[in-house]
Chain A
Amino acid sequence: MSLLDRHLAFVEALRSAGLPVSLSEGLDAVHAITGLGLADRETLRAAYAATLVKRQPHRTGFDQVFDLYFPALIGDGASSDQLVDPAETAAEDSAGSTTDSGDGPQELADFRDALVDALGMGDPDALARLARDAVQRFGLIRGRGPGEQRWSSYNVMNRVSPGELVARVLRGMGLEPDQDPATRRLVDAQVRAFEGLVEAEVRRRAAEVRGPEHVARYTVRKSIDQLDFTAARKSDLEEMRRELGPLARRLATRMNRHKAARRRGPVDFRHTVRASMSSGGVPLEIHHRPRRPSRSDLVVLCDVSGSVANFASFTLMLVFALREQFDRVRAFTFVDEIHEVTDRFRPGLDPVETMAALATSAQHATLWGRTNYGRAFTRFAEQHPDALTPKTNLLVLGDARSNYSDLALPVVAGLVKSARHAWWLNPEAPRHWGTGDSAAHEYAALLPMVECRNLTQLGQFVHDLA
């Protein structure tokens, strides 16, 4: 494969990973690389990143594809001396036990000791070396011939279980596990970095056996604003939570601009004529009546049962971050009982605490513990008959999976009728609607149901709402 072919395949892989790489950007990259040379991998990465990646959320996907197409090393790494920097191999040898590649209990214990040291030191090079080592020793899926090998990050995590090492690392620093939450977070971040390195190493090895195109197609993750709420892992959720603040700020700016553009009402004739007196009766300046700001009330009903709780809390936090765009916001959570959570949201509140408070509120919203949409709607109509007025917009958040219970469709129809507008946001893809215990189609007949699977869709919906 020539260098140009590799470049073209790389650009193609980036496009299929969701990065909008244009032809001219590809040309820029070629110019950049011609100017820089290929001597240094990180320089090459920087050149590609500068010319092809124009948004920070795309960076994770870019790095993954880059590692597949321009791997730092090939094979087991240690054996290909001519490709690896000699200093690095020397360091690897001096690290002692890492050169033998057994995977017995003794080696595992040694390895975990080395990992504890590396995590404690926070040394990225040592972590990268250990991740490589870990995949080689503990990651191989057994029972496959040469050329057919598979590696699995699950195997590695299962054997090494780095999450359990956090307490040991902290004790190594002379701290009790619960003594210093801030340091604990740092160590947790190190562990997550190690997990990421192991996954990258597994992908690299898979790419060697099966070709980078194959691996890029199946394993490269989407950028965070395109990631499904329901498919998000714990680390993704944290990243999403960090994205919420900037997203709310961007939306608020956009909404204010939009409103400013519409602020001018019809021509104010009296004002214009009066102003024309000073210019001898010639109306030089036309005055307009200000448009009445039309803000609306918002009532949000959220399903906070297990699977969709994250989606609900993200939506609630975004709505409350933008509360000045609405007249009044009231929020209720439910599982099978209704519970008002409006007072949990105060301006300037910390998102982590809000999420925790919402999680505890789920207990108040639970009576039997099984999601029951029909019961929740009925209880809402009974307990808060004054919540919905002709000025109110009603927003229901949930996957409409009601455990085959009574759907209380007449009650819902009544709620929809008493509100000005009503929407249902569903975090599932439309092809899953109506499958299993999902009553999406039944409810969709009563009020418009909108697919809302990721931050981009959520942002778009909330923007159009205000």
Chain B
Amino acid sequence: MTWFDSAADAGKRLADAGYLADQATATTTFLAGALEKPLLVEGPAGVGKTELAKAIARATGAELVRLQCYEGLDEARALYEWNYKKQLLFIQAAEVTSKESEERAEPQRDWATDIFTEEFLLTRPLLTAIRRAEPTVLLIDEVDKTDVEVEGLLLEVLSDFQVTIPELGTMAAVRRPLVVLTSNATRELSEAVRRRCLYLHIDYPDADREHAIVTSQVPDIEDTLVRQIVETVARLRALELRKSPSIAESVDWARTLVSLGTGTLDAATIDATLGVVLKHSSDLDRAVRELRLRQG
């Protein structure tokens, strides 16, 4: 199956799914589908990295399988695990039945091999995504939070799309999932992972695109207000803040202003609602000073 017909098609279908992609994003998404390579997405928090994966799933009608990474994530949580409790119950039940069958001199069942079957396998996101026969988007979120060992595991899975389970044998992907990895760069990913992936850096959007995004996310907002929000956010980004406002914050701000029933964004309104966009007290102080929000 082809995921998208062309870069333009990718852009259009993502837009239909509610994700307004720029040209680089659309092209790279198309390539990820066409070359069947994982896509590594980096960028500041809140620019829509995770949303891109969700939008791809919506646009292609594929199911999204998500693996949220965290410190201490291991193979048992990422790949597969044997259901020990169920195996234990099965063995206990088998002991009882085998005694009974012994009394009746029936042939013995070899329950030691019976407990390592599909029935007792708990598939975790990576294995689930590989075994699915329907189109799948596999989202590996915040891959930089994992330990280096998991990265090694990912390498194996992402390059061959197959997993070896000692008791069952090798499971190869029936249909390769489209893999999206997101990272916030808290840790440098290894060269090996980067080399196997296509790379996309999503940055803050330009004014026109941000305007379109806010309008599409908050439909009942006035056009002048959107323009004021976009312009103010652009000015905030030009300041050197600890955390610059991203798209998520612009949309939150728009929602806040709409629910407050504010029609226009003047200095007093900005001052009152700035906490929606800026999350550090030093950033707030700086913005108040630089935007001259409070007189005197």
Contacts and interface: CB of A to CB of B under 8 A. Distances in A.
Nearest to B27: A46
Contact of A51 (B31, B42, B280): B31
Chief secondary structure at chain A's binding surface? helix
A350 B290 contact: no
A56 interface: yes
Contacts of B207: 122
A28 B35 contact: yes
A31 B34 CA distance: 9
Contacts of B285: 350
A20 B290 CA distance: 41
Nearest to B23: A42
B194 interface: yes
Nearest to A124: B206
A22 B191 CA distance: 10
Contacts of B34: 32, 35
A46 B24 contact: yes
Interface string A344-370: 000011111000000000000000000
Contacts of A284: none
A59 B24 CA distance: 13
Nearest to B199: A54
Residue from B27, B236, B291 with most neighbouring chain A CB atoms (10 Å): B27
Given A25-B195, A50-B199, A32 B35 contact: yes
A105 B239 CA distance: 36
A396 to B, nearest CB: 29
Given A54-B197, A56-B42, A186-B234, A242 B240 contact: yes
A109 to B, nearest CB: 29
B105 interface: no
Contacts of A179: 292
Contacts of B185: 246, 250
Interface in B197-240: 197-201, 207, 234-236, 238-240
B239 A238 contact: no
B7 interface: yes
B281 interface: yes
Given A36-B31, A50-B28, A183 B191 contact: no
B37 A28 contact: yes
A46 B28 contact: yes
A45 B286 CA distance: 37
A246 B183 CA distance: 13
Interface string B269-291: 00000000000111101110011
Given A24-B195, A352-B240, A36 B186 contact: no
Chief secondary structure at chain B's binding surface? helix
B109 interface: no
B194 to A, nearest CB: 4
A250 B7 CA distance: 34
Interface in A15-37: 20, 22, 24-25, 28, 31-32, 35-36
A50 B286 CA distance: 36
Contacts of A36: 6-7, 27, 30-31
A122 B227 CA distance: 14
Interface in B20-66: 23-24, 27-28, 30-31, 34-35, 37, 40, 42
Contact of B280 (A20, A45, A189, A348): A348
Nearest to A349: B282
A458 B275 CA distance: 35
B187 interface: yes
A274 interface: no
B7 A56 contact: no
B86 interface: no
A254 B200 CA distance: 24
A253 B281 contact: no
B111 to A, nearest CB: 26
Given A22-B195, A182-B291, A254 B187 contact: yes
B199 A348 contact: no
Contact of B198 (A20, A50, A56, A257): A50
A348 B282 CA distance: 7
Contacts of A56: 42, 201
A182 to B, nearest CB: 4
A246 B17 CA distance: 33
Contact of A250 (B186, B280, B291): B186
A31 B188 CA distance: 27
16 contacts: A24-B195, A25-B195, A35-B35, A36-B7, A42-B24, A45-B24, A46-B23, A50-B27, A51-B198, A54-B194, A55-B199, A181-B290, A249-B186, A250-B185, A350-B286, A351-B240
| Closest CB pairs A-B (n = 8) | A46-B27, A54-B194, A185-B238, A182-B235, A46-B24, A50-B28, A50-B198, A54-B199
